[in-house]
Structure 1
Amino acid sequence: MEVSVWDTYVQRQDGKVMHFDILVPSTLTDTDVIFGFGKRYLASKSFTTRELSVNECKFCHMQQAPVQVTEDIEADGYYIIEMENCS
């Protein structure tokens, strides 16, 4: 599956900046839906963050997804890759 990678940075309440990628099918272009996935992910965290918006989340590139990522996207609609300060 080809996926779009949305590079995302969101400031946490403690001042650290979270960096994560939101992966979605390349056919999905509705930013409201993509940002909704990011907001759902942020709501699952035990700490508070700033609001996710177009300033924090930008399309980066497309790539082929590994099998596990494809399976998760097929089940949930998206996949998150945690990069920095996500826990």
Structure 2
Amino acid sequence: MECAVYDTYVTKKDGRIMHFDVVVEASTPHEKAIEYGKQYLVTAGQAGQKMTSEECQFCHIQEAPPFVEKAIRQNGYWIQKMEGCPP
């Protein structure tokens, strides 16, 4: 599966930066990727933090590894946690 990767930097409630990628099927609209990122913020305890096309920018297209493809088929997206994300 070809997937689109959106590089995302959100300022957390404590002022620190949370860096993660929102990974979706390649034909998914950018607005939907932002919506998925906001869903992740809720689960990360960061509901209501600013997340727009400014914080969540298209990065590249790549082939999804099997575990990412499975998550996208089940949930519509995969979050690749980078820096400042809860475990």
TM, length-normalised to structure 1:
0.92
Which residue is equivalent to 1:53?
Answer: 52
- Name the counterpart of 1:37: 36
Runs of 4+ aligned structure 1 residues displaced above 4 Å come to none
Number of matched pairs: 86
For structure 1, the 5+ residue unaligned runs are: none
- Cα deviation, 1:33-78, whole Å, max 9, x if unaligned, reads 1111000000111345621011101000011111011011000000
| CA RMSD after TM alignment | 1.2
Q: Percent identity?
A: 40
1:32 deviation in Å?
A: 2.0
TM-score under structure 2 length normalisation? 0.92
What's 2:71 paired with? Answer: 72
Q: Which residue identity is paired with 2:74?
A: A
What is the rounded CA distance, in whole Å, between the counterparts of 2:84 and 2:48 in structure 1? 11
Gap regions ≥5 residues in structure 2? none
